[in-house]
Amino acid sequence: MRELHLIVGFDGSPAATRALDTSARLLVVRPPGRMTVVWVAHLASTVRLSADAVEIVEHDFGQVAQELRAAAAELLGDSQVPWDFQWRQGLIAHELIAVAESVQAARPRDVVVIAVGSSSSAMHRMVGSVAVNLAHHSPVPVTIVP
């Protein structure tokens, strides 16, 4: 059976929370479907760390991932929507696309869509946001939740 599979970028921000909530509501009214909630840990490319510092940062990333998974579980608690959680490290748009491509390869009949919240950062208007980057480069449809 063909399913809608939403890849939802989630970092706990208000915009990401709206994207997660909207995705869950969409899947409730349009079954069958499932959701993969993805947090991407990202360090700016200009950051250089020692081996010890990398170990500490990766440990901290693990803790943040646990907290975000718990937050997603709380938000999705009563929805009955099947979901899983992944955390990745790298460029956010690139990693969300990689998850979408992996899901699409594993289930080629499914409709895969990436959902993210819109950015309200003034800086993103100048250097570009994850949503804009996805809109330009994603091989699957992208939904940007205001």
Contacts of 24 (CB under 8 A, 6+ apart): 35, 75, 76, 79, 81
Whole-number percent of the chain with pLDDT over 70: 82
The predicted pLDDT at position 36 comes to 98
Q: Please answer whether residues 21 and 71 qualify as being in contact, where contact means their C-beta atoms are separated by less than 8 angstroms.
A: no
Superfamily of domain 4-145: HUPs (3.40.50.620)
Does position 124 have pLDDT exceeding 50, yes or no?
Answer: no
Q: Could you tell me the two tokens for 83? A: 């979901």
Q: How far is CA 111 from CA 2, 29, 61, 92, 116, in A?
A: 7, 16, 30, 21, 16
The residues with which 116 forms a beta bridge, in sequence order, are 144
Q: Give the DSSP H or E segment for 89.
A: strand 83-89
Contact 82, 23 (CB under 8 A): no
Domain ranges of the chain: 4-145
Percent helix, percent strand, percent coil in the chain, to nearest 5: 50, 25, 30
Which two three-digit tokens encode residue 104? 């699409």
6, 27 contact by CB (below 8 A): yes
Q: Looking at the predicted structure, is the pLDDT value of residue 125 above 50?
A: no
Mean pLDDT of 66-89: 94
- Average model confidence (pLDDT) for the chain? 86
pLDDT, tens digit, for every residue of 8-48?
Answer: 999 999 999 999 999 999 999 988 999 999 999 876 554 55
Closest CA relative to residue 79, chosen from 7, 19, 25: 25
Average pLDDT over residues 70-87: 94
The string of pLDDT tens digits covering residues 49-69 is: 555 554 555 557 788 899 999
Q: How far is residue 128 CA from its own chain's centroid?
A: 17
